[in-house]
Amino acid sequence: MLALDGDEIGKWVSGEKTPKFCHQLAQYDDGSGNPDGALAYFESTRNPDGRGTHASRFSRFLGTQRPLSPSYHLQFSEALANFALRCVDPIVRAYHGRLIYAGGDDVVAVLPADSAVACAVALRAAFRGHAPGVEGIESPSPGFLTLTFTGHQDQSRRAIPFIVPGPDADCSVGIAMAHFKSPLQDVVRAAQAAEKRAKRSRERGGLGRSAVAVSLFKRSGEILEWGANWDDGGLALFDAILNAMLVQELSAKFPHRACELLEPYRTDPAALILEANTFADDPEFESAFDEIVRCEFGHALARQHGPKWPENKELRGALTLKLTGALDGHLQELGRIKLQAQHKLQRLTGLLSAVAFAHRARSDDVAFETGSTP
């Protein structure tokens, strides 16, 4: 179950986040033939008589935010409506899901476990006006999308761009993964709770917005939590491992084995202590933690080969470099936001558990479709 909500929409509505005029004035850099535009005029440093130059007289104006007005609210409402009514359903269906609700910046959808995270990434891309990687939806310019229908009789008709919130806006997503027999309302509430965890500040144990949070509900009753900010490399690592497992380059046991190797380094402080940041590991362990993770990850990678592990040395090296590179990028971003070793370990083991859950769900689907025993 997936729940999406826009970040700080109230600030956009109140005018606190209205764009500056330098981002609103026309500039003809699209090859249309007109070299000038309103922005070029206001940025000009040449005197009106054409002689000499001066500092732009309009620098203060260009740095001023667009004033709040009924037309601004109409345009912002149009952008939210376009996202909900034109983009969400085609994207959810492209990832084999079904839309339950879409209104403005709120979305609720049900999806297969192995495609839910990828769908979240595509929805966020569309919300920000970037091409989501779904057939029929393109981005002619940042903040604008076009929608075409495959099989339309008149293929020569030019798609008309429509506005969406754009690259300065963002959203957060909560995902709850559970067994298909779990009560639906409980899973919906869990997804909405995960979305709130994605928005919660890091000081209070959340992800600080612009993030996706995942809650895993095991049949045993255990609940595992994982989350990542959109640009911290966690999603790239999740995708790299899951794809390698789906094509059987990695064994299905890989995430379990990697978790087993990392588990002894957990000191398991109480949740309140971990959230309050009153517990700290030994400084030497903190400094060596990234290298420890790389060694254990590499050990699991060297042992848990799938039946289609590349025999060619170059292909094998490329796959290993892709996986270890994704891990390095994630560790660097976690270090940049200054997470303690135990917080990093919690993120990594949660990521590996989410990969294992998604892969197992995909394997069960394939077994059901083919009639074979998993």
Tens digits of residue pLDDT in 130-173: 999 998 899 998 899 998 865 444 555 667 889 999 999 999 99
**Shared domain check, 330 and 187:** no
Structure tokens at 285: 């362990």
**Is 27 inside a domain boundary?**
no
Number of structural domains found in the chain:
2
**Is 28 inside a domain boundary?**
no
**Is 282 inside a domain boundary?**
yes
**Is 23 inside a domain boundary?**
no
304: Cα separation from own chain's centroid = 28
Please identify, among 229, 262, 278, the residue that sits at the C-terminal boundary of a domain: 229
- Tell me the three state secondary structure of residue 68: coil
At residue 1, the pLDDT reads 96
**Is 10 inside a domain boundary?**
yes
**Shared domain check, 176 and 285:** no
At residue 160, the pLDDT reads 81
By the 8 A CB rule, do 280 and 343 touch? no
Among residues 217, 253, 254, 261, the alpha carbon closest in space to that of 237 is found at 254
Cα–Cα distance between 207 and 225 in angstroms, integer? Answer: 12
**Shared domain check, 13 and 111:** yes
**Shared domain check, 253 and 105:** no
**Shared domain check, 242 and 97:** no
Could you list the mean pLDDT of each consecutive 10-residue stretch along the chain, which spans 374 residues? 95 89 75 66 62 62 86 93 95 95 95 93 96 92 83 59 93 93 92 95 88 90 88 91 92 94 79 60 82 94 92 90 92 84 88 90 53 45
**Is 162 inside a domain boundary?**
yes
> pTM for the complete prediction?
0.83
**Is 63 inside a domain boundary?**
no
**Shared domain check, 194 and 87:** yes
Please identify, among 170, 197, 229, the residue that sits at the C-terminal boundary of a domain: 229
At residue 61, the pLDDT reads 83
How many alpha carbons lie under 13 Å from residue 357 in its C-beta half-sphere?
Answer: 28
**Shared domain check, 182 and 235:** no
**Shared domain check, 128 and 163:** yes
Cα–Cα distance between 20 and 349 in angstroms, integer? Answer: 42
Domain residues for the domain of 216 are: 1-18+70-229
Neighbour tally for 206: CB within 10 Å? 18
Cα–Cα distance between 157 and 160 in angstroms, integer? Answer: 9
Domain CATH code at residue 89: 3.30.70.270
Cα–Cα distance between 244 and 236 in angstroms, integer? Answer: 12
**Shared domain check, 302 and 211:** no
User: 18: Cβ–Cβ under 8 A, 6 or more apart, which residues?
Assistant: 12, 65, 66, 67, 68, 72
At residue 366, the pLDDT reads 46
